[in-house]
Chain A
Amino acid sequence: MKKILTLLALGTSLCASQAAVTLNSSNFGNGLVTADNSALASGSLRFGVFPALFDFAANSANLPALEAAFVQVYAYTGAINALTVDGFYEISQSVDNTASFEGQSYATSIAGQKIYLWAQTTGATQQAIFSTSTTWNSGVGLPPFDSNFSPDTGAPGLVAHIGTLAAGQDLGAGAPAHMLAVVVPEPGVTLSVVMGGLALLVRRRR
Chain B
Amino acid sequence: MIYVNQLNKHFKESHVLQDVSITFDPHITYAIIGSSGSGKSTLLRCLNGLETPSSGEIKIDDINIFESKDNLAKARSNMGMVFQNFNLFEHKTAIENVMFALIKVKKLSHDEAFKTASTALDKVGLSHRYNNYPHQLSGGEKQRVSIARTLAMSPQLVLFDEPTSALDPEMTIEVLKVIKNLVKDGLKCILVTHEMSFAKEVADMIVFMDQGKILEITPSEQFFTQPVSTRAVQFLSHTQFKGETQGKKHYS
The finding on whether chains A and B are genuine partners in a shared complex, rather than unrelated, reads no
